[in-house]
Amino acid sequence: MTDLADSRRNFVIGAGVAVAAAGAASSVSAQEPKMPGQPTTPAAAAYPKPPFAPQKQEWPGLASKMNPRPDHGETSYKGSGRLAGKRALITGGDSGIGRAAAIAYAREGADVAINYLPAEEPDAREVIALIKAEGRKAVAIPGDLRDEAFCNKLVECAARELGGLDILVNNAARQQTRPAIGDISSADFEATMKTNVYAPFWLTRAAVARMAAGAVIVNTSSEQAGDPSEDLVDYAMTRAAMLNFTKSMAKQLAPRGIRVNAVTPGPFWTPLQVSGGATQEKLQKFGSQAPLGRPGQPAEIAGLYVAAADPGLSFSTGQIFGATGGGGQPG
């Protein structure tokens, strides 16, 4: 390769990485290009590391108000048509991991409906615009998943607006840190259980009634399922439940040709943490105990949600796809 070509390549790559990490606390350096059609993210060293600035938002929180702002792959994720023609519903699709999945799905050729709480509308508008920018259909359906009637309506509306339903991503979750079991009120416990366990059950039940062979359900669990924190008792319970739900439903739906997989994140930089999911002390050093020494960015896990739904991996069902920064994986 000539010196001129090297210079041009390094300029393009360096500019793209700088845009993707705008607003991050650490500087960005250029990286080597990846194979065509593969997701590209900044080099690991470019992502923010603790300590993070003290910050707090009211539940459920907005990514747009976080410091540093998370990278969901807005400028870095490159699709290759792996989900061309698919129709997906993603809960919690306004921010965090759900937002990263929504962006990736659209760039892989899927039409996408996202669900979120009304308070998250500012973030949701950004996602809808990103999906439409890919020439895909985008459907916004705000509402509270703790309501069974709404869950049924959500699936019905998504299937109607998208012309069918091929992928359901049960991603939305509630996480609130509590130092002791006596500090978890019954109302708190119920809200977490309904968001994290009841809603995926209701949504899955409604979705499978509309799904045909080749459809996929992708659940979000967590490393908390196998290595729970002492101050996230109720949340960790729900993440373990999602692993069992994934494995049992995979067996139940296999004869119908419907696959069910799960993704288990480790520490990821999302509004879940700054809106009550972590103490201020834990937040400032968030991700420091992972072998990589930092939290993951949502863009770094989007590819697993694509893989979990990819028709090319049609023998993969009941599988657990993990990204924990080296911290181990629940089975």
Q: Which residues are catalytic?
A: 235
String of DSSP letters for 33-82: PPPTTS-----GGGS--S--------TT--GGG-SSPP--STTT----ST
Cα separation of 131 and 190, whole Å? 33
String of DSSP letters for 179-236: SSGGGS-HHHHHHHHIIIIIHHHHHHHHHHTT--TT-EEEEE--GGGTS--TT-HHHH
User: Judging by beta carbons within 10 Å of its beta carbon (0-12, 13-18, 19+), is residue 25 exposed, middle or buried?
Assistant: middle
Measured CA to CA in angstroms, residue 56 lies from 61, 120, 176, 278, 306 at distances of 9, 16, 13, 10, 31
For 88, residues 6+ apart whose C-beta sits below 8 A from its C-beta are: 105, 110, 111, 112, 113, 162, 165, 166, 167, 168, 169, 309
Contact predicate 286/50, CB 8 Å? yes
Alpha-carbon dihedral 155, 158, 164, 168, rounded to 10 degrees? -60
For residue 296, the 8-state DSSP code is: B
Cα separation of 176 and 232, whole Å? 7
Task: Give which of 203, 69, 88 is closest to 134, Cα–Cα.
Answer: 88
